Amino acid sequence: MQELNNKQIIRFVFIAIVGALTAFNGFQSTTKLVSLYPRQHPKSAAFAGKKFEGIQKILAGNKYIAYYTDQNLDNPGPLMELQQAQYTLAPVILDPDSLDHRFILINCVDVSKAIARMKEIGAKPLTANNMGIILAERPQVTP
Amino acid sequence: MIYLLPLTISLILGLLIIKTALNNKVPGALLTFFLSGIIGLGSSAILTFSSFVIFNQLSAVWVIALHLGIITALGWYLKQKNQLCSLPLLKTLTWQDGAAFTILAAICIPTIIHASLYPYGGWDAWGTWNMKARFLFLGGTSWSNMFDPMLWRDQINYPFLLPLMHVWLWCFGSAPTPLVPLIMTCLITFLSAGVLFGILKEITGKFYMVLIPACLFTNLAVAIQASSQYSDLLVATFLLTALGLFALFNLTKNAGYLILMGATLGMMGFTKAEGMGLLAITGIASSILIMTTFKDICKNALIKLWSATIAAAIPLLLFVFIYAPRKVVVFKNGLTAPDHPLTWDRFSYFMSFMGHDLINNRWQGLWILPVIALMVAGRKSLNQTVRLFPVVLLANICFSLSMFYINTHYDIVWWMNTSFERVALDILPALFCWATLALFQE
């Protein structure tokens, strides 16, 4: 009988702790997330991958295209943009290490650097958007 | 709304697989529902993969026809045995089941809110899992370009069950909408909570077991991980399901549970690299327990377990032997590599990080509570029903931790900060299940 009581007490204490933790967790999580919602919501819309939308059709049929940026890809921000561009443009594969492809996706903070680079490699802009993304082509290079 | 259709098809497929495997001796209605969900979705992903193997591209018509064909075949088989009707199961539903279902849906609210804040998920969602899904859906016959070495940043050596689940849902739409991974991540949270509750309720008979998943999934750290659209919670759900099914086999001696367990293990192995390790650990440990504990039905039980495991692991085997890229270096043995040797600093950082992380405030004691419960339960935490839990969890902890320490390919600071929480989440629901069963099982 004594053992049964001890067992029941232990179970009761365990469930009471779990219940209290649930109430605390639920309240804390919900209030924190709800308070974040109005401030964070615009951030979710600013998915960098969206900058690269609209050029998928032009790139259809290409396996690789070059990706050029004037930022250091060892830093999380520029790397994130590359990864999100890759997500958006899949199944085309972005090559950030070589410009030796027919199409070059240029994502530069400094537009003058983008123009200089295009001149240097003989590429012509094919299309661009108001978020600083340029798709350039080197007609002399076969895919 | 169109995505309700593939989800319903998966649910029906899962239910029919469960009824066939268990010879209609299914557990309670809610547990059957949640098991149907997780096994059905995993099965749908495997059937979707068949299209890539046979046609070398996605054929939505084939995938849908295959689903309908298998559902018809299983339905016909069950009808022959007069086991097709599920009305008796529905009649067992009580108001408690309804209340539990509502509570389980409610505890997913933090996950749903966070998922809606970040509809594209976390880094590995768009960098790995959802990107693979887009390759599969949009790539045509070039889908295997997702293994191209140029994509070395994107875990190209990982299997891809979760992306196939997304592709299954996308088969019913015209574009790879990001809504599907968002729905899927919330659904997996719901199924995980449901399976945890279902197993605990089935074994202990206590309605208030709904507090256990509630405690777990209302935690902000868990909700953030769950909403990130990664594969980790899916691995955790498969592991929990496999261990729970083994516990039910222990109680009922119905070897049909081992068929379902084997199927779950095969799916888990195709989900993530950690899933492959867990598949091996759980398969071997459960086989040893079957051989030592159930000598009278050992042969039949092992045949059922391993035939189901191998059948469900066919995609994994194809991936490992045919599709997986060969030249990707993700492992350097610190014991033998002279350029990346093991150091004392690595060990001390690794130990201190782990110690600090598990008692960190953000977990709100989620690691401490089950450990104390297991200590209080004492020998009952090793009883026959739950014996597989400690074996698998401890073996997995040793395996994972030694990988973190020995594999010096990655910088330990970066690796622990980006991956430890996710690897830890793999075992958290199973740990809670074990601790609760140890305390409450008669």
What mean pLDDT comes out for the span B117-123? 90
Confidence of residue A130 (pLDDT cuts 50, 70, 90): confident
Which element (helix H / strand E) includes A91? none
Residues 21-50 of A with CB under 8 A from B: 21-22, 24-26, 28-30, 32-34, 36-37, 40-41, 43-44, 47, 49
Confidence of residue A5 (pLDDT cuts 50, 70, 90): confident
Q: pTM of the predicted model, to two decimals? A: 0.94
| Most confident of the ranges A47-51, A107-111, B151-155, B191-195 | B191-195
Evaluate if residue B431 carries a pLDDT over 90. yes
Q: Which residues of A touch B154 (CB under 8 A)?
A: 83, 86
Indicate the domain borders of chain A.
1-43, 48-137
Least confident of B68-72, B88-92, B170-174: B88-92
A54 lies within 8 A of chain B by CB: no
- Quote the pLDDT of residue A43: 54
B116, part of any domain:
yes
The ipTM assigned to this model is 0.89
Q: Which residue would you say has higher pLDDT here, B217 or A36?
A: B217
| Angle of helix A2-45 versus helix B109-117 axis, rounded to 10 | 20
Q: Which residue would you say has higher pLDDT here, A33 or B320?
A: B320
Residue B98, CA distances (Å) to A19, B37, B61, B101, B104 in order: 20, 17, 36, 5, 10
- Quote the pLDDT of residue B32: 95
What mean pLDDT comes out for the span B94-110? 93
The answer to whether the CB of B44 falls within 8 A of the CB of B166 is: no
pLDDT, one tens digit per residue, over B337-388 is 777 778 888 888 888 998 888 888 888 899 999 999 999 998 999 998 999 9
- Quote the pLDDT of residue B382: 92
B11, part of any domain:
yes
Confidence of residue A143 (pLDDT cuts 50, 70, 90): low
Q: Which of B214, B255, B243, B29 is nearest to A21 (CA)?
A: B214
* Residue span of the structural domain in which B235 resides: 4-331
Evaluate if residue B86 carries a pLDDT over 80. no
- Quote the pLDDT of residue B275: 94
Residue A109, CA distances (Å) to A3, A51, A68, A69, A114 in order: 72, 13, 11, 8, 9
- Quote the pLDDT of residue A46: 63
Q: Which of B52, B129, B211 to mutate to test the interface with A (most CBs of A within 10 A)?
A: B211
Q: Which of B186, B200, B212, B215 to mutate to test the interface with A (most CBs of A within 10 A)?
A: B215
Smallest Cα distance from A4 to chain B, Å: 11
B253, part of any domain:
yes
Confidence of residue B72 (pLDDT cuts 50, 70, 90): very high
Report the residue of chain A nearest B215, measured CA to CA. Answer: A22
Quick one: tokens of B199? 């197993």
Pairing relationship of beta strands A133-137 and A64-68 according to DSSP bridges: unpaired
The answer to whether the CB of B218 falls within 8 A of the CB of A26 is: yes
Evaluate if residue A2 carries a pLDDT over 80. no
B398, part of any domain:
no
What mean pLDDT comes out for the span B134-139? 96
What mean pLDDT comes out for the span A77-95? 93
Number of domains in chain B: 1
pLDDT, one tens digit per residue, over A119-129 is 988 889 998 88
Evaluate if residue B87 carries a pLDDT over 80. no
Residues 66-125 of A with CB under 8 A from B: 79-80, 83-84, 86-87, 90-91, 93, 95
What mean pLDDT comes out for the span B78-90? 81
Residues 205-264 of B with CB under 8 A from A: 208, 211-212, 214-215, 218-220, 223
Report the residue of chain B nearest A14, measured CA to CA. Answer: B373
Answer whether the bond into residue B178 is a cis peptide, omega within 30°: no
Confidence of residue A4 (pLDDT cuts 50, 70, 90): low
The answer to whether the CB of B214 falls within 8 A of the CB of B148 is: no
| HSE of B437, CA atoms in CB hemisphere, 13 A | 30
- Quote the pLDDT of residue A41: 59
Distance CA B405, CA A130 (A): 47
Report the residue of chain A nearest B370, measured CA to CA. Answer: A14
Residues 149-168 of B with CB under 8 A from A: 150-151, 153-154
Smallest Cα distance from A60 to chain B, Å: 10
pLDDT, one tens digit per residue, over B399-428 is 888 888 888 888 888 888 888 898 899 999
Confidence of residue B249 (pLDDT cuts 50, 70, 90): very high
B257, part of any domain:
yes
B325 lies within 8 A of chain A by CB: no
Q: Which residue would you say has higher pLDDT here, B330 or A3?
A: B330
Q: Please, what is the average pLDDT of chain B?
A: 92
- Quote the pLDDT of residue A6: 85
Using the beta-carbon criterion (under 8 Å), do B376 and A10 form an inter-chain contact? yes
A18 lies within 8 A of chain B by CB: yes
Q: Please, what is the average pLDDT of chain A?
A: 86
- Quote the pLDDT of residue A1: 52
Using the beta-carbon criterion (under 8 Å), do A14 and B439 form an inter-chain contact? yes
- Quote the pLDDT of residue A3: 57
B128, part of any domain:
yes
What mean pLDDT comes out for the span B211-223? 95
Report the residue of chain A nearest B376, measured CA to CA. Answer: A10
Confidence of residue B138 (pLDDT cuts 50, 70, 90): very high
Using the beta-carbon criterion (under 8 Å), do A34 and B135 form an inter-chain contact? no
B387, part of any domain:
no
What mean pLDDT comes out for the span B425-433? 95
CA-CA-CA-CA torsion sign (B10, B12, B16, B19) = positive
Residue B270, CA distances (Å) to A94, A132, B27, B142, B277 in order: 27, 40, 26, 21, 11
Distance CA B224, CA B235 (A): 16
Using the beta-carbon criterion (under 8 Å), do B109 and A30 form an inter-chain contact? yes
Evaluate if residue B117 carries a pLDDT over 90. no
Closest CB to B220 among A32, A80, A93:
A32
Quick one: tokens of B342? 């093991």
Q: Which residues of A touch B107 (CB under 8 A)?
A: 22, 26
